């Protein structure tokens, strides 16, 4: 089981609506999480605009700042 699976199970069990990830790096754990509203903060994101846009098309509520 991956770390994202554990996070997703907690979100689903609690019926959580919002997810904040501090320290997103390449987005491997941020992007796959499915939730109504998601925000990621990082002083130095390590993913391309293309990857961000690819995931944004799957989850338009994603925000990375």
Ligand X SMILES: C[S@@+](CC[C@H](N)C(=O)[O-])C[C@H]1O[C@@H](n2cnc3c(N)ncnc32)[C@H](O)[C@@H]1O
Nearer CB in complex with ligand X: 16/23 = 23
Neighbouring C-beta atoms of residue 28, cutoff 10 Å: 13
Name residues whose C-beta falls within 8 Å of residue 54's C-beta, 6 or more positions apart in sequence: none
Residues within window 14-53 making contact with ligand X, judged by CB under 6 A: 21-25, 28-29, 41-44, 46
CB of 4 to ligand X, least distance (A): 8
Contact predicate 64/30, CB 8 Å? yes
Nearer CB in complex with ligand X: 6/61 = 6
Binding-site ranges for ligand X (CB under 6 A) = 21-25, 28-29, 41-44, 46
């Amino acid at each position: 089981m991956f770390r994202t699976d554990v996070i997703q199970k907690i979100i689903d069990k609690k019926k959580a609506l919002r997810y904040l990830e501090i320290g997103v790096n390449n987005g491997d754990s941020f992007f796959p999480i499915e939730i109504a509203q998601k925000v990621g903060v990082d002083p130095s994101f390590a993913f391309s605009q293309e990857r961000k846009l690819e995931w944004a098309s799957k989850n338009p509520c994603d925000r990375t700042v």
